[in-house]
């Protein structure tokens, strides 16, 4: 199981390095490339780590829907906050050397790929929970199955969102220290693009994660109700505890 997970990790990095980055540099839409690349990473890593079956299918569908939502939210929030994407030396260099490259699109792509890292864990857990509940009590209907699994998801979502926020906060720590030394107020700090980018990234990722719980739970419940007992056992076999 661990070996498959490591193989999936290597494949994910390979897709980002050898597909996503070159495609963006060739002038293709960073948004479209990031979404396709994220889906490719999902279709490689989830089946590798958890096997192929109903649980994986539900998790992939839930992840895809949540990624599409995160993509739309990122596009909306970037436009509303007028983010340019020019907050680092690397961005300045890309702007000077790659005239056709959209830095806003690149910023959006980074948010989508960043959200994927925690999305797949959440969707697999929700799908596995639904399958386990259905296997333990085959008499459960959609409504009870959905509500029971959603109760478990509420506990998981709090920890997962916290993980995402801490990741962004850790990456922004040097900037926060600079503002602290300058005695900059929170309102003033939010007007700086470097801080605003992190806030938008946290919002996009958090809303995508929160939406992933009911979406994946509903999809997994609909699928579980159509499975026989032996198929439910197969759906559990690939789960990593």
pLDDT in tens, 81-129: 888 888 777 888 887 887 778 888 888 888 888 888 788 888 999 999 9
Under the banding of pLDDT at 50, 70 and 90, the label for residue 237 is: very low
Residue found under tokens 């948004």: 31
Mean pLDDT, the chain, integer: 83
> How far, in Å, CA of 56 to CA of 62, rounded?
10
For residue 218, what are the CA distances in angstroms to 56, 127, 183, 234? Answer: 14, 9, 47, 20
Under the banding of pLDDT at 50, 70 and 90, the label for residue 239 is: very low
pLDDT in tens, 182-207: 777 777 777 788 788 888 888 888 89
For residue 67, what are the CA distances in angstroms to 194, 204, 232, 237? Answer: 23, 10, 27, 26
Instruction: Work out whether the CA dihedral 98, 100, 104, 108 comes out positive or negative.
Output: negative
pLDDT given for residue 52 in this prediction: 84
Flag whether pLDDT at 67 surpasses 50. yes
Mean pLDDT of 223-235: 69
pLDDT given for residue 235 in this prediction: 53
More confident site: 167 or 234 = 167
Mean pLDDT of 221-229: 82
**% of the chain at pLDDT higher than 90:** 16
pLDDT in tens, 120-138: 888 999 999 999 998 888 8
Q: Helices 30-50 and 103-136 sit at what angle, rounded to 10 degrees?
A: 30
């Amino acid at each position: 199981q661990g070996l498959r997970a490591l193989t999936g990790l290597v494949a994910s990095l390979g897709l980002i390095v050898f597909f996503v980055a070159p495609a963006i540099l060739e002038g293709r839409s960073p948004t479209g490339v990031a979404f396709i690349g994220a889906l490719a990473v999902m279709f490689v890593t989830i089946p590798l780590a958890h096997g192929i079956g109903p649980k994986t299918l539900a998790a992939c569908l839930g992840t895809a829907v949540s990624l599409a939502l995160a993509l739309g939210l990122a596009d909306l929030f970037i436009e509303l906050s007028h983010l340019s994407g020019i907050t680092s030396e690397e961005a300045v260099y890309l702007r000077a050397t790659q005239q056709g490259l959209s830095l806003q699109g690149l910023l959006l792509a980074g948010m989508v790929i960043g959200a994927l890292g925690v999305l797949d864990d959440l969707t697999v857990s929700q799908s596995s929970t639904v399958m386990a509940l259905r296997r333990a009590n085959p008499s459960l209907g959609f409504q009870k199955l959905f509500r029971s699994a959603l109760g478990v998801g509420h506990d998981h979502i709090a920890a997962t969102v916290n993980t995402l926020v801490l990741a962004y906060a850790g990456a922004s720590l040097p900037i926060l220290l600079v503002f602290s030394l300058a005695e900059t107020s929170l309102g003033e700090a939010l007007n700086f693009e470097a801080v605003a980018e992190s806030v938008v990234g946290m919002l996009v990722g958090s809303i995508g994660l929160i939406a992933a719980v009911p979406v994946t739970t509903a999809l997994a419940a609909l699928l579980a109700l159509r499975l026989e007992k032996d198929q439910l056992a197969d759906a559990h076999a690939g789960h990593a505890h």
